[in-house]
Chains A and B, each alone.
Chain A
Amino acid sequence: MKKFAVTYKPFGETALLIEWPSKIDEEILFDILSFQKEIESTLFEKIDETFNTYNSLAVFFNPEIISYEKLLESVKQLRKGEQIADPHSGNVWEIPVCYDPFFGIDLEAISKTKKIPIDELTELHLGNTYTVYFTGFLPGFLYLGGLSEKLFIPRKETLRSKILKGAVAIGGYQTGIYPQESPGGWNIIGNCPIPLFDASKNPPTRIHAGDKVKFVSISKEEYDLLKEKINSGDFVLNALSI
């Protein structure tokens, strides 16, 4: 596994920010996740939590327990050593998406701009396996990498004030699912009936950074049936393992 050069800086009074080269790259993600595992397993008694994005990892600490300088020294020391933690969870989640025009309200406009038939657009979206880089923006909002270049679409110039819960969308080079109703500027191509965030459960989400996501197309009828099953508590999302 590739090990990148990193830089360290304080972030507020209670976090150490570790930064990788500024690009979206799976090799960078897995280096971050491996280092995160090493830090969590070695320093768990001294730190509060860790959190990663595309190219950074923040280590949150309580200055009454460990100083920034001491934490920095320990983390640097760890980085020097052999990094053995396996960052690959092996989880692949099959997420059902209904691309019916009832939900995919921007499909027609995208099809016109890109001069690609709607069927082909959804095939492209279904064809790839996506990597979960991190969760951010909203509780349970997954930042997914791996979108086909043919589907890169700029964000809409004006924000929609209301995007449905479960909306599957494309914004720039990213695709994602709105876990709750929210304003947003991404292009809506479908809807996922499965709740991706449930505050009454702990942990509230089961999909984590490093997992893989595959979309599976369902019809409007299947969507409604699945929704019923979910509402009656009769549905459990399971990960396939690779």
Chain B
Amino acid sequence: MAIISICRGTKSGGEALAQCLAEQFGYPLMGREVLQEAAAQLGVPADDLVEKMEDRPRFFDRSTTLRKTYIAAVQATLAEAAKDGNLVYHGLAGGFLMKEAPGVLCARLIAPVEIRAQALKRSHGMDEASAFSYIREVDEARARWVKGMYGVDILDPTNYDMILNLGTFSIPEACRIITAAAERPEFTVTESRLRDLNDFRIASQVRLALMDDMTGSRRDPRSGSHAEHRRGGKPNRRDRELRRRREGRRTQDRVVRPVPLGGSQGRRVFRFPTVLQRERPDKN
């Protein structure tokens, strides 16, 4: 038994490699569907969760707690899937989400941008310039997201157990190499590690419950009311924000820029807008 997390850029062959590994070991495979499961658990639209999971946190992001709740939900979903000690995960930030889990083999795939652009052209019919630009944007967004959420550089090799270059290796070759590593004692799930994985699962659930209580994101199964009502207090901004999202309404996060107020002798005075968010009308 082992848990393998594949970290990769878009169109780097991560999904195919993860499939190969899952077949090789007979393990369940999990990718972006972890986001859907986490959204269902929270009772919010999957699109909202995906957006918050992939969108870079801004300096004046008032939805930080909401974002953390979403991440806690994804982590709890992942911890649940990994509780038996056999899983191949190829979704977002596996190495960071499962950092506290024992014995997770974290492999990163890299591939020359030309190969990735070719794959994108084939799958989406893009022209070359658009494919290159799309890859660059997605890579940058992911790097910013990881930096913003975990304070680390996604490209830093020390964050991974191994990095395979798919400019050299084919998918079956990479699959054999990762298999050889996953079979080593460092990554074999023993009885003791199974207990640690269970602890990780419980800790993730507790973290989610605490975050959830702060944001009031889930309905009370008995009364159908929301957490903020259970608390008996007045719904705060986070409560209202989550409820809007659960009900399919959106709030627009406005980009906040300092407003120049003038000044003299090369010195400029700025002030920040005080209203950071504004309601966007319902789509329907």
Query: A and B bound?
Result: no
